[in-house]
Amino acid sequence: MLVNLSGVLKDAREGRYAVGLFNTTDTDMLEAVISAAEELESPVIIGTAEVLLPYGELKLIAPAMIAAAKRAKVPVVVHFDHGLTFGRCMEALDLGFSSIMFDGSLGSFRDNIAQTAEMVRLAHGRGATVEGEIGHVGEASGRDNENTDGYTRAADALEFAEKTGVDALAVAIGTAHGTYKTKPRLDFERLAGIREAVDVPLVLHGGSGLSDEDFRKAIAGGISKINIFTDLCAAGERAMRDGIGQKLSYLGIRENRVRYIKEAVEKKIRLFKGV
């Protein structure tokens, strides 16, 4: 069934587990993620991101995601990840997304608050939820491990949450998007400070490549939603290489891809639920 973030993240906080957002840019990934969640009887968040639209047009992939969510046996949030513009966020809402992230983290603190608050007003009017970002989660490719300038400060998180009314808050505590070149070091003390300051469910971006122990500590420290994409791409790439090695047909390789990605998703769902 199609739901927004509210109930799913409320249950996650009460149960002290995290729900994964697995971006699904095509129907192979979509099938893999939904079937993994159904098999484990777990809620799940699917979606796409503004930077991923060149790989799967929003108007084409949205109806498939929403249809898959509606017929699923588990709660499914269809979330637009890292919306960078109002236009794209509104397009996603018009297409039936139940949740969006408005990412104003590259702008000034004041602009991020003003724009996110406006987005919350518009989305809530349609029954959709909104995730914001305070601090800035950068790219693994351009990353400096010692640079903590973009990390979230607890006082900013509190002001942001109060002034915007967001339903979930992405925090920067040392993770990055993409593939890590050096082992990431998460600032769990900072996470504890943020958790104490705000009551909003917290989100960890850049989850691909963290150790199982990092995830366990982050969830115990108050993270309720974790974004995974790069790991799914890696599973899909492995499936294609193996399939070519095994001289499989195009459709055989496609089956491999769904199976490998499904296994990668199941591993993460189990880890995030602590089962």
The candidate with the shortest Cα–Cα distance to 2, out of 72, 50, 80, 62, is: 72
Neighbours of 223 (CB within 10 A): 24
Considering the rule CB under 5 A, would residue 205 count as an interface residue with Zn ion?
Answer: yes
Stretch that binds Zn ion, among 123-131, 201-209, 216-224, 229-237 (CB under 5 A): 201-209
Distances (CA, A) of 59 to 89, 99, 272: 13, 16, 31
Q: Is 81 one of the annotated active-site residues of the chain?
A: yes
- Identify the residue whose tokens are 């959709």: 128
Stretch that binds Zn ion, among 138-146, 158-166, 202-210, 217-225 (CB under 5 A): 202-210
- Identify the residue whose tokens are 């799913």: 8
Residue 192: CB minimum distance to Zn ion, A: 22
Report the DSSP beta bridge partners of residue 79.
47, 99
Nearer to Zn ion, 143 or 205 (CB): 205
DSSP H or E segment with residue 23: strand 19-23
Nearer to Zn ion, 52 or 67 (CB): 52
Instruction: Count interface residues toward Zn ion (CB under 5 A).
Output: 1
Stretch that binds Zn ion, among 90-98, 106-114, 197-205, 211-219 (CB under 5 A): 197-205
The candidate with the shortest Cα–Cα distance to 229, out of 115, 117, 140, is: 140
CA–CA gap between residue 80 and residue 83 (Å, rounded): 6
CA–CA gap between residue 77 and residue 128 (Å, rounded): 10
Residues 6+ apart with CB under 8 A from 247: none
Helix axes 154-164, 188-197, angle to 10 degrees: 40
Site string for Zn ion, 213-252 (x = CB under 5 A): ----------------------------------------
Of the residues 11, 26, 81, 156, only one is catalytic, namely 81
Nearer to Zn ion, 205 or 273 (CB): 205
Considering the rule CB under 5 A, would residue 79 count as an interface residue with Zn ion?
Answer: no
Stretch that binds Zn ion, among 115-123, 138-146, 200-208, 265-273 (CB under 5 A): 200-208
CA–CA gap between residue 86 and residue 81 (Å, rounded): 13
Residue 227: CB minimum distance to Zn ion, A: 5
Residue 170: CB minimum distance to Zn ion, A: 7
Nearer to Zn ion, 190 or 257 (CB): 190
Residue nearest to Zn ion (CB): 205
Nearer to Zn ion, 104 or 243 (CB): 104
Which residues of the chain form contacts with Zn ion (CB under 5 A)? 205
Q: Which residues are catalytic?
A: 81
